[in-house]
Amino acid sequence: MKNAIVTGASSGIGYAITKKLLALGYKVIGVSRDIDEALFGQYNFKAIKCDLSDEKQTNSLVEKLKVEDVDILINCAGFGKFAPHEELDTKTITQMTFLNLTAPMLLTNATLRSLKKNSGYLININSIEALRSSKFAGVYSATKAGLKAFSDALFEETRKSELSITNINPDMTESAFYDDLHFDVSDDENAKLLASDIADAIEHILTMRKGAVVTDYTIRSLHFGIKKKPLKT
């Protein structure tokens, strides 16, 4: 049985991907700040609690993963804060950069030899913001563009191996990502993505002929829509 690691597995896209992988017969290690084995009710699921925006916790996880036999690494954990750059505090900038960009690079570093040996898959759940420039998204977009550049360069670096590397760039996806933001996905079903859409893309990537690699997998909603939340008083 093949082994997968999914970060951000406790909710949203990471949760949907984990469910998909378990259904496909993989053993999954799910990483999140708040997660336990009972979440999926399957013996093939193992939970590791880790705050990937915290350098000390992440480095501790890296040491654990170095001894794991890994076939798939899916870096999904991330968060965004959208505001004029001068209004972002230092902690937000530092944590967003570490979680969205540094942590995936560290986890990849820890598992890369195993992934290459096993003809595995490295999949980074990126964002449509990696491909465009949006106001109030400077730091978030920079982290996602950086993650895309890392993935693209690593693909070229490892091309003589049997490792497949893919960026998935979703449009706005219904999830807890927007819980603390001042906007949310649209109520229009055609103006948003569902977490299951991203999980379906994972299945597509894993079932393709190994000799063909989709290095960038961009998923857009059919319509454009956004919902502004009422201002807090």
- As a whole number, mean pLDDT of residues 33-42 equals 91
* Residue 128 and residue 145 in contact, taking contact as beta carbons nearer than 8 Å: no
Please tell me the distance from the alpha carbon of residue 14 to that of residue 9, in angstroms, as a whole number.
4
* Residue 227 and residue 186 in contact, taking contact as beta carbons nearer than 8 Å: yes
Q: Which domains does the chain have, with CATH numbers?
A: 3-228 (3.40.50.720)
Which is the catalytic residue, given 15, 26, 121, 140? 140
Q: Is the pLDDT of residue 147 over 70?
A: yes
- As a whole number, mean pLDDT of residues 166-177 equals 96
Query: pTM for the full model?
Result: 0.96
CB-count burial class (<10 Å; 0-12, 13-18, 19+) for 231: exposed
Give me the chain's average pLDDT, please: 96
* Residue 191 and residue 225 in contact, taking contact as beta carbons nearer than 8 Å: yes
Instruction: Please report where in the chains the tokens 């949907």 appear, as a residue.
Output: 16
Length of the chain equals 233
Beta-ladder partners of 183: 228
- As a whole number, mean pLDDT of residues 46-54 equals 97
- As a whole number, mean pLDDT of residues 57-67 equals 97
Residue type, 101: L
Q: Is 140 a catalytic residue?
A: yes
